[in-house]
Amino acid sequence: MPDRSQDPPTPRRRLGLWAGRLLLVTGSLFVTLAALEAGLRLAGYQAIFEVYSKPSIFWQHDDLLGWSHEPGAQGTYVGPRPWPIEFRTPISINSLGLRGPEPDPFPDGGYRILVLGDSLVAAFEVKYQDTFVARLQKKLDARFEFPVQTVNAGVRGYGTDQSYLWYRERGRSLAPDMVLFLHSFNDPENNITLHRLRRPFGKGALAPGPDGALELRGYPIPRYPLCSAWSLDAEFEPLQTDSATVRGFCWLQTRLSDHSAFFTWVTLRIRRDPELLRRLYGVGSTSASRAARSSTRLAGFGSGALGLIPAAAPAPHRLTDRWILTRQILLALHRQVIHDGAEFVIVLPREHWKKMGPEKLGATGIKANFVEMRGPLGGALADRYIRFHNDDHLNETGHEILADLLEDIIEPIVAAQE
């Protein structure tokens, strides 16, 4: 009988050998990761969102705005993830879906200021009494013989469009004497964005119609998949801007963030390596979107901590002009406020005022107000003085400085009402 031990393996046998090796490697990897997970749990590590608050904390789906605060919600906002905890803030949402106390019935002769904006205004990082909105009320109320009230209408993640729609449909019922809008560095991008990766809710958008008037697009708002990204294209139509690579990374990250202490440990080390972090941002993204994310800080203000997965975006020529659109939304907000008989005050980055066309904005009566947020030491140490160490948002000192700067802008306008 011939000896076949030296014969080459058949295709079926080769497949069995590879399957066995793959099973062995997979089993070894699983055992190793399980051991690492257990060891890190014993060492005190936890999954990211077992410790920190999700960015969408207190949000609810909103048919008009995409999301809004859940009226009556209470809890604690913990962050910044995944760094050592710098804030653990008690948050209360009133019956109007706004942060802070219930707006008191206002007596005749009082002055009410409605403050619109995003996370800078909502300011979940500090206690309510330490926010610039609350500090501003205290300063102005002490300055004038009549009562002054500030109402915080800021919502994390809002663009100019959502602030405008909220005011037009809901906020004007509060009959403010002044609307103060803090325009952030990322507002133009938010105004053309319908859904971001990892956000539980998407939104609609405003776009010019055939007659030039703004009209709603992307309504009714669909339930976007969590790991998808959508924006307005050059024709103001919804365009999916993610990729298979980005969706895969997002799917993996969202699950690990919820369940894995090992992922927390890896994330901490990645964030300490700027070059590696930069390379991860580039996965599945265009060079234009990478460049955009390199300058996401709000000029003069602050922005939320960046995630590990890039926020996908198509090449700029495929998107509408966000600056012109933002200008149109600002003009619509201004017209509505003036029509309601209130003063309109906008604070925005100087470079945004230039990009949106100062001559066209100024011709309508809009006056630009700029604030320079710098600590007393100036230079590179300024941000560390007015912001949290690992988060771009303002700390208590930053809010105090901003309140002082806004008082200088607003006090003469309120004084003219005496």
What residue ranges do the domains of the chain occupy? 11-44, 50-418
Distance, in Å, from the CA atom of 299 to the CA atom of 306, rounded to the nearest integer, reads: 16
Contacts of 46 (CB under 8 A, 6+ apart): 261, 264
Residue type, 315: A
Distance, in Å, from the CA atom of 241 to the CA atom of 231, rounded to the nearest integer, reads: 7
Q: Which of 80-89, 116-125, 348-357 is the most confident on average?
A: 116-125
Distance, in Å, from the CA atom of 173 to the CA atom of 5, rounded to the nearest integer, reads: 88
Cα distances from 318 to residues 34, 37, 238, 385, in angstroms, run 45, 43, 11, 40
Q: What is the CATH number of domain 50-418?
A: 3.40.50.1110
The confidence score (pLDDT) of residue 288 equals 36
The confidence score (pLDDT) of residue 379 equals 56
CA dihedral 92, 94, 98, 100 (to 10 degrees): -50
Q: Is the pLDDT of residue 407 over 70?
A: yes
pLDDT band per the 50, 70, 90 thresholds, residue 154:
very high
Per-residue pLDDT averaged across 123-132, rounded?
98
% helix, strand, coil for the chain, step of 5: 40, 15, 40
pTM, whole model, 2 decimals?
A: 0.84
